[in-house]
């Protein structure tokens, strides 16, 4: 399991435990330490886990309001506890983290994988639907990025310019 994926998994498990135990913010540091020792001993991303959980808790009210807006038929307390915390991780990374470090589609895909791993049979589809709705509402940032193996429009433009320079240099009489 990739290091960042494991870190997100531990962050989600920590949020799940925090949520299950009554949402006492004072317990979070101990929960994180325990979960890192239990599920990721020696992980190099412990700082990422702490920052992710801390950021989510700081933006919790905003994130929960976004969940309720994107899934109006599901009041936040009726969303399964795993799904609720997977969505918190996904929404935080989608809306509040550095997009150059975590592109939007990576944030969505990681959340879907967490939902499939830890949630129920329909969790992956539910998380995908909610995050897809949010992604479309924010204007689909990052959509212009190429898929693996494709060149971006900028790379294509730069490549065209280089071909022209090469042709001019190789064929000075043309």
The answer to whether residues 99 and 141 touch, using CB atoms and an 8 Å cutoff, is yes
Q: How far apart are CA 174 and CA 172, in angstroms?
A: 6
Nearest to 47 by CA among 84, 4, 104: 4
Number of H helices, E strands in the chain: 8, 0
pLDDT at 100: 87
Mean pLDDT of the chain: 86
Mean pLDDT of 73-87: 95
| 32: phi then psi, degrees, rounded to nearest 5 | -65, -50
Candidates 2.60.40.420, 1.10.940.10, 3.50.50.60, 3.30.70.20; CATH matching 3-141: 1.10.940.10
Helices (H), 21-75: 28-39, 46-58, 60-70
pLDDT at 2: 77
pLDDT at 169: 44
For the chain, the farthest-separated pair of C-alpha atoms sits apart, in whole angstroms, at 78
Instruction: State the pLDDT confidence band at 71, using cuts at 50, 70 and 90.
Output: very high
Q: Is the pLDDT of residue 136 over 60?
A: yes
Burial class (CB in 10 A: 0-12, 13-18, 19+), 117: middle
Q: How far apart are CA 141 and CA 145, in angstroms?
A: 9
Q: Give domain limits for the chain.
A: 3-141
Share of the chain above pLDDT 90, in %: 75
Instruction: State the pLDDT confidence band at 140, using cuts at 50, 70 and 90.
Output: confident
Q: Is the pLDDT of residue 125 over 60?
A: yes
Q: What is the pLDDT of residues 9-31, one digit of tens each?
A: 999 999 999 999 999 999 999 99
Q: Is the pLDDT of residue 147 over 80?
A: no
Q: How far apart are CA 71 and CA 11, in angstroms?
A: 23
């Amino acid at each position: 399991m990739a290091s960042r994926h494991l870190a997100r998994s531990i962050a989600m498990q920590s949020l799940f435990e925090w949520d299950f135990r009554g949402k006492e913010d004072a317990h979070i540091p101990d929960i994180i330490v325990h979960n890192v020792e239990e599920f990721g001993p020696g992980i190099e991303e412990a700082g990422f886990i702490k920052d992710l959980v801390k950021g989510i808790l700081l933006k919790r009210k905003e994130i929960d309001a976004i969940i309720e807006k994107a899934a109006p038929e599901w009041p936040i307390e009726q969303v399964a506890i795993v799904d609720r915390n997977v969505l918190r991780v996904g929404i935080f990374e989608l809306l509040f983290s550095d997009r150059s470090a975590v592109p939007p589609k990576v944030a969505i895909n990681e959340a879907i994988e967490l939902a499939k791993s830890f949630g129920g049979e329909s969790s992956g589809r539910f998380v995908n639907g909610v995050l897809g709705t949010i992604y479309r509402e924010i204007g689909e940032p990052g959509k212009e990025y190429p898929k693996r193996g494709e060149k971006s429009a900028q790379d294509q433009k730069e490549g065209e310019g280089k071909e022209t320079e090469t042709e001019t240099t190789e064929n000075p009489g043309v």
